[in-house]
Structure 1
Amino acid sequence: MSEKKEAVMDLQTVKESSQLSLQSTKEDGHSKGPIFDEKRTKNLVRKMDRNIVPFLSLLYLLSFLDRTNIGNARLVNLEDSLGMTGLDYNVALAIFFPFYVAAEVPSNVMLKRTSASFWFSFIMVFWAISTTLMGLVKTYPQLLAVRAVLGLWEGGLFPGINFYITTWYRRHECGLRMAIFFSAATAAGAFGGLIARGVSEMKGIGGLQGWSWIFILEGIVTFIVAIWAYFQVHDKPETAKFLTEEERSEVRRRLVEDRHNLADEWDMKYVWQALKDWKIWVHMLITFGMFICLYSISLFLPTIIKNMGYKNNDAQLMTVPPYVVGCIFTISGGFLADRYKQRGVFMIGYCIMAMTGFSMLLATESVGVQYAGTFLATSGIYANIPGGVAWNGNNIGGSTKRAIGLGLHASAGNLGGIVSSFLFLSSQSPRYLQGFGTLLAVSGMSCILSIIMTIYLRRENTRRDREGAEKGLPTPENYTEEMREAEREKGDDASFFRYVI
């Protein structure tokens, strides 16, 4: 008890001295930096949006396209060409994910210690080469080897972009930007079907099958964009050429104000803080369930629709509308969550939407109802992926802890890809009852955990407000810089930190 009293007295002393310092500053007439009104701030944020978000979306579109195009290639005789039978296709899907997951946290460490322009470009070059090589394989073991290498190089992009966005935008601005870049995944699903339908007609050119050209052409495009990325990606606000010096200062000021001067340097103790934070582990379970659903849709939707009774080429095209609707829900969900400063309720709502879709696919043989179910399932799942990342990232205090936490988040999610690879087996077609039943169960798990997390965060914020008032501490927005500095290494355990609910 005496230690707590001493800590409160120390904070009060810091508070009093900082107020005197602030009063002195005002009397001297000195300004703490450029003051942006609401209009200038909106223009600044839009300027960042134009120069950052579209290119990130392109990178992720290529990433998702290059990992999921095997689902389209399957409908263009991939299995027959390589002599694949039984579970061979499922194994080819699954082998990607252990290497993908293994790369995520180390990749975020490298991103933190190098630069975004270098690291994103570096990993893209190698996954582009891997994608191209998939079009040149002649045997099933070669396909497995290249898929494994592809996973290793692609693993860094998703957690890397999510962390990168948090270094530019305030917490209640991240959700929409993450949703926009992740909507590229839905675009990849739509484009994948259209591209596969057209490229499959290249069968015989260069002595290659149509499925080979799907991989080769997409790999070449990724390689070109990888080189472009080195010059296009802006590493950090302090060096961004598209910002003026005054704008750079304002971006930095906004981030410091929003994240409360919490520690930004690299130190292993923040890594351990992330590993010991139970909230991050709960988010990992939530995203594990969501990603099982995500990869089941992205890898098997062409097969699912084909087994509704459509021909191969028609099935490719029928995958497009669910992804288009899913893209709309993903972006609108990110916008509304940022606007109303609520994340948990949107996570819960989209989980229920996905569960409804899977129930429709599970419970009936009506093709119309099943196809409608794909719209609800796709929309609910895809909208929840960036929502979950933003929710977790918003509530991790400190730059290094956040980088590790988001890496763990993505790693847990992508482990779901291993599970999804074995949910839709050929022996269970055309209904895939086990697959849809599993997706209904894991989306229900994510829904329940989201409800628990929402309730906890609300209560924790209320507790901190109450205890702060009892100790005579100011409200979080009225903490001085000196008071924040005294707790800068505590991350989201700092007395002034409040969780995004």
Structure 2
Amino acid sequence: MSWRENAFTTDTSTKDDTDGQSLSKRATKNLVDKIDRNLLPIISVLYLVSCLDRSNLGNAKQAGLAEDLHMTGKDDYNIAISVFFPFYLAVQVPSNLILTRLRPSLWIPTFMLAWAIVTISLGLVKNYTGLLVLRCALGIAEGGIFPGIVYYLTKWYKRHEYGFRIAIFFSAAEAGGTFNGFLGDAIMDMHGVGGLNGWSWIFIAEGLVSLCIAGVAYWRMHDYPDRAKFLSPSEKQAVVRRLDEDAYRLSDRFELKYVRNALLDWKIWMHMIITVGICVPVYSIGEFLPTIIQDLGYTDDHALLMAMPPHGAACLFILCGGYLADKHRQRGIYIIGFCLLAMVGFAILGVVENAAIKYSACFLVAMGIYPIVPQDVAWNANNIGGSTKRAVGIAMHIGFGNLGGAVAGFIIREDDAGRFVSGHGILLLITASSCLLTAFMTWYLRKENGRRDREYKCPDSYTREEKMREAEKGDRAPFFRYTI
């Protein structure tokens, strides 16, 4: 008998376990660590590369893209950024529905293969119209990645575990993004190679990297726990059992009524609105932070270097927030705290003249805004009962929320006054709105959990058969309790 099989202990008091097996605390940790080692590296790289490929337009602009494509209009560049997002949104729900039926190890890498081809094609574009068309195609090719990865993680981890895992791959992309400017500068040195300009090589080189990683992903990505090659048969059973218990044994069937339930669930729509209010400042700061620092007197590589510490601090807060929110099994209060931190930063940026204080405010903004994204995504996913409804709800949330990126390019503009007073004021108000809605959601979910505690018996006291009879109700089942 192997050490893995020895890790199982018998717990005859577990009401829902028909086979009487449960994992010891140490064995559970070993099992989750093993899942982390086999899942998180590849999905972190996938998401990092997707973020780099969608944000390299700024580097290409600096390398002469606008001049070569005759982008003479005042808003041509902002339109090229924004046109990506409606198509990014449109593909997310269909993609996640397909993912519930297909193997993740095929579906997700295929998206990467598609966006790699589109990125390489961007390097060969000859006019502004072609640029817009390919940016639309890139939105379609990348649309399924973020919601697909989040849904994928919910099929491997319990509700209070995958918030930290979402934070891990999100922080990896945030950390990698800080080097995007230097990467663009390095690739620009290829100007003239093959008769192509430097901005062409930015797209081509990064697209070729994505193409290679897509090939690795076909080989390295795993499907769901019951088919994972790195798990022993007993470990597969343990993972499936613990997830089944954590999901209250709700239905995993694919039926259109669950799609309809997601589309009509006001709580999902509330998260979508909250996320719009977060994504607008996320994309604004991510796109224009170097410009803000340049306004403080730093230029070129110095501006890129000065942008790195705030992003580094944001990564630390993303990870700490994800860990603590999972540990305490609460998300609303953390999101409120992060919103307040960002609001203080925006207020300082809008009214203070001192350069050192304004730079410090950039830390507050980054440390407040970025950690909210993975926690709000996890919060929404935590509170959707049933696999199909969760897949649709995650895609609705992420897709609609990212519409904030479509307007972000018009909030803080390079031709505004030096301190971008109007832009920071708008971002402050938008963040405050999301904060208030988060406070409302936290209050409502506490109230609803309290009502269910009073009117129904304790969730642990339901038998397996009782839960199966209510499985069709999803998060409306009497034994379901919301994460607050």
Deviation at 1:302, TM superposition (A): 2.6
Is the CA contact 1:289–1:443 (under 8 Å) kept in the aligned structure 2?
Answer: yes
With over 3 angstroms needed to count, the CA separation of the structure-2 counterparts of 1:144 and 1:105, relative to structure 1, is same
Letter in 2 for 1:244: S
Superposed displacement of residue 31, structure 1: 6.2
1:365 positional shift: 3.0
Q: Which amino acid aligns with 1:272?
A: R
Match of 1:55 among 36, 42, 52: 42
> How far off is 1:213 after superposition?
2.1
1:13-162 matched pairs, under 5 angstroms = 32=19, 34-85=21-72, 86-162=74-150
Q: Name the SS of the counterpart of 1:35 in structure 2.
A: strand
CA deviations over 1:144-195 (Å, ceiling 9, x no partner):
1111110111000011111111000000001100100111231232121221
Q: Could you say what secondary structure the match of 1:241 adopts?
A: coil
Q: Note if 1:321 corresponds to 2:309.
A: yes
One-letter amino acid of the counterpart of residue 500, structure 1: T
Matched with 2:385 is: 397
Asked if structure 2 preserves the Cα contact closer than 8 Å seen for 1:194 and 1:320, the reply is: no
3-state SS of the aligned residue for 2:179?
helix
For 2:33, give the aligned amino acid.
Answer: R
Contact 2:280 2:405 in 1 (8 A): yes
* 1:332 positional shift: 0.9
One of 138, 155, 166 as aligned partner of 2:154: 166
Offset from partner CA, 1:221-251 (integer Å, 9 cap, x none): 1111111111111110000001000000000
- Percent of aligned pairs with the same amino acid: 51
Query: Which of 230, 253, 261 is the matching residue for 1:273?
Result: 261
Describe how 1:356-371 pairs up with structure 2 within 5 A: 356-371=344-359
CA contact (8 A) 2:225 2:239 kept: yes
**Equivalent residues of 1:71, 1:302 under 8 A apart:** no
Q: Superposed, which structure 2 residues align to 1:230-249 within 5 Å? A: 230-249=218-237
SS of residue in 2 equivalent to 1:319? helix
Counterpart of 1:499, as a letter, is: Y
Distance 1:430 1:82 in 2: 28
Amino acid at match of 1:333: G
Whole-angstrom CA distance in 1 between matches of 2:304 and 2:121: 23
| Deviation per residue, 1:350-387 (Å, 9 max, x gap) | 11111112112211232222222222212211100000
C-alpha RMSD of matched pairs (Å) = 1.6
Distance 2:20 2:348 in 1: 57
Contact 2:291 2:414 in 1 (8 A): no
Which has the higher mean CA deviation after the structures are superposed, 309-318 or 254-263? Answer: 309-318
> Is 1:353 equivalent to 2:336 in the alignment?
no
1:191-228 alpha-carbon deviations (Å, 9 max, x no partner)? 21221232233333333333222222111111111111
What residue is the counterpart of 1:214 in the other structure?
Answer: 202
Residue 393 to residue 78, structure 1, CA distance change in 2 (3 Å): same
Partner of 2:8: none
Q: Does 1:485 align with 2:468?
A: yes
> More deviation in 421-430 or 58-67?
421-430
User: What is the rounded CA distance, in whole Å, between the counterparts of 2:419 and 2:184 in structure 1?
Assistant: 25
Partners of 2:184 and 2:371 lie apart in 1 by 25
Query: In 2, Cα distance between the equivalents of 1:76 and 1:339?
Result: 46
Distance 1:73 1:302 in 2: 15
Residue ranges of structure 1 left out of the alignment (5+ in a row) = 1-24
Amino acid at match of 1:68: S
Deviations 1:51-102 (A, max 9, x none): 0112111110001111112123333333233222311111110110111011
Query: Counterpart amino acid of 1:142?
Result: G
CA pair 146-173 structure 1, distance change in 2 beyond 3 A: same
Partners of 2:243 and 2:448 in 1: CA distance:
23
CA deviation map 1:251-284 (0-9, x unaligned): 0000011011100010000011111111111111
1:213–1:430 CA distance, 2 compared to 1 (3 A): farther
Larger Rg: 1
CA–CA distance in structure 2, aligned partners of residues 210 and 373 of structure 1 = 34
Q: Secondary structure at the match of 1:428?
A: coil
Quick check: 1:70–1:299 contact (8 Å CA) kept in 2?
no
Cα offset for 1:335? 0.4
Written as runs of structure 1 = structure 2, the 5 A alignment for 1:255-266 is 255-266=243-254
Q: Report the secondary structure of 2:71's partner residue.
A: coil
1:5 corresponding residue in structure 2: none
Point out 4+ residue stretches in structure 1 off by more than 3 angstroms.
none
Pick aligned residue for 1:412 from 396, 400, 423: 400
The code of the aligned residue for 1:495 comes to P
1:374 pairs with one of 362, 368, 389: 362
Quote the Cα distance in structure 1 between the aligned partners of 2:202 and 2:361. 28
Q: How far, CA to CA, are the matches of 1:131 and 1:371 in structure 2?
A: 34
Q: How does 1:438-453 map to 2 (within 5 A)?
A: 438-453=426-441
Select which of 179, 183, 203 maps to 2:167: 179
Question: Contact (CA 8 Å) 1:33, 1:249: kept in 2 or not?
Answer: no
Give the number of aligned pairs.
469
Residue 447 of structure 1 and its aligned partner are, at CA, apart by: 0.5
Q: State the alpha-carbon separation in 1 of the partners of residues 243 and 66 from structure 2.
A: 51
The residue that corresponds to 2:9 in the other structure is none
Is residue 2:305 matched to residue 1:305?
A: no
Distance in 1 (CA, whole Å) between partners of 2:417 and 2:232 is 59
Question: Out of 169, 173, 176, which is 1:188 matched to?
Answer: 176
Q: Distance in 1 between matches of 2:302 and 2:314?
A: 20
Instruction: Give the 3 Å change call, closer, same or farther, for CA 365–134 of structure 1 in structure 2.
Output: farther
* Distance 1:493-1:443 versus aligned 2 partners, 3 A rule: same
Q: Call closer, same or farther: CA 1:94–1:388 in 2, change over 3 Å.
A: same
